């Protein structure tokens, strides 16, 4: 009879697990975006517009129009003749045919292949660039740059209303005659309207000593530290005159200018000290 192999008592031996190699981290390659190539082409077509409207059809006068020529140091007559290479009448041939320059709907467009017409319009005394009041060149690039500057100023001014602490807005609010005793949301709303309508003045007011001084004087008058009438600015408690007010001038403006002088600096310091004691 075959003898069976008996298993040794106890728990079976643990089978050592083979070390699992960590999978290498594969870095994801970010596809590079191809650069966007652009070529800024200057506008080869010039546009001129009549100042003040001009109606459907406006014919530009060119009878006896003379301008100063720097090259010859003389006054010369200009004429637009499409079949001539020059706009100077003394350089044009005997068979030169003058043509009317017509603005339609207040505008005229001059292409690159019309150099004599372009030159005629650029030198014409009616051009605003030459001090005239009949027409002007429409420069869309310059207009766009001006509009950008204006819009960025508005954006900066609006962000100041939004981001600055309300206490930093009080002086500016007083300068622009905004009631600082109103709710803060109302103060910011009123300043927002001013920031949009006068962005440059609004931004500059934060660094203006005149604005700060005027705000201090306004508060001093409200808290009866000083009093002002048409003839003089005085201390409220002693009725002592600080500065006289010339006829026809605003007392607040007069006292503001005085406080910004070396002589008036001590008065301003005294007013500030009294306001701090009231706080």
- Concatenated DSSP letters of 225-252: SEEE-SSEEEETTT--EEEE--TTS-HH
Hey, how many other C-beta atoms are within 10 angstroms of the C-beta on 105? 13
| Nearby residues of 23 by Cβ (< 8 Å), 6 or more positions away | none
Euclidean distance between CA atoms 265 and 52, whole angstroms: 51
Which is nearest to 133 in space by CA: 186, 40, 60? 60
DSSP state of 90: G
Residue 7 pLDDT > 90? no
Residue 25 pLDDT > 70? no
Which is nearest to 135 in space by CA: 45, 59, 43, 44? 59
Tens-place pLDDT, residues 177-232: 899 889 999 999 999 999 999 999 999 999 999 999 999 999 899 899 999 988 99
| Nearby residues of 55 by Cβ (< 8 Å), 6 or more positions away | 106
Euclidean distance between CA atoms 108 and 6, whole angstroms: 113
DSSP state of 77: E
Tens-place pLDDT, residues 73-117: 999 999 999 888 899 999 998 888 889 899 999 899 998 889 999
Tens-place pLDDT, residues 147-180: 899 999 999 999 999 999 998 898 899 889 899 8
Side-chain half-sphere CA neighbours of 94 within 13 A: 0
CA–CA distances in Å: residue 19 to residues 16, 168, 196: 9, 67, 70
pTM of the model: 0.54
Euclidean distance between CA atoms 14 and 235, whole angstroms: 100
Alpha carbon distance, N-terminus to C-terminus of the chain: 114
Strand-pair partners of 138: 47
């Amino acid at each position: 009879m075959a003898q069976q192999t008996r298993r040794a008592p106890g728990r079976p031996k643990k089978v050592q697990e083979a070390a699992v190699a960590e999978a290498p981290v594969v870095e994801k390659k970010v596809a590079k975006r191809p650069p966007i190539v652009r070529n800024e082409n200057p506008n080869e077509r010039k546009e001129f517009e009549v100042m003040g409207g001009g109606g459907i059809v406006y014919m530009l006068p060119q009878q006896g129009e003379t301008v100063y020529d720097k090259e010859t140091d003389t006054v010369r007559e200009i004429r637009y003749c499409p079949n001539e290479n020059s706009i100077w009448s003394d350089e044009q041939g005997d068979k030169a045919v003058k043509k009317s320059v017509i603005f339609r709907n207040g505008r005229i467009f001059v292409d690159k292949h019309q150099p004599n017409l372009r030159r005629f319009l650029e030198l014409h005394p009616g051009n605003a660039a030459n001090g005239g009041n009949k027409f002007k060149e429409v420069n869309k690039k310059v207009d766009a740059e001006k509009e950008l500057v204006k819009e960025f100023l508005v954006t900066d001014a609006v962000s100041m209303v939004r981001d600055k602490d309300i206490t930093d807005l009080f002086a500016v609010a007083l300068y622009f005659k905004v009631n600082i005793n109103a709710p803060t949301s109302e103060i910011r709303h009123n300043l927002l309207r001013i920031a949009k309508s006068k962005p440059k003045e609004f931004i500059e007011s934060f660094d203006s000593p005149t604005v700060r001084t005027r705000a201090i004087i306004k508060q001093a008058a409200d808290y009866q530290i000083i009093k002002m009438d048409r003839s003089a600015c005085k201390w409220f408690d002693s009725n002592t005159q600080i500065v006289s007010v010339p006829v026809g001038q605003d007392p607040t403006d007069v006292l503001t200018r005085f406080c910004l002088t070396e002589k008036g600096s001590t008065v301003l310091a005294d007013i500030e000290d009294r306001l701090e004691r009231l706080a």
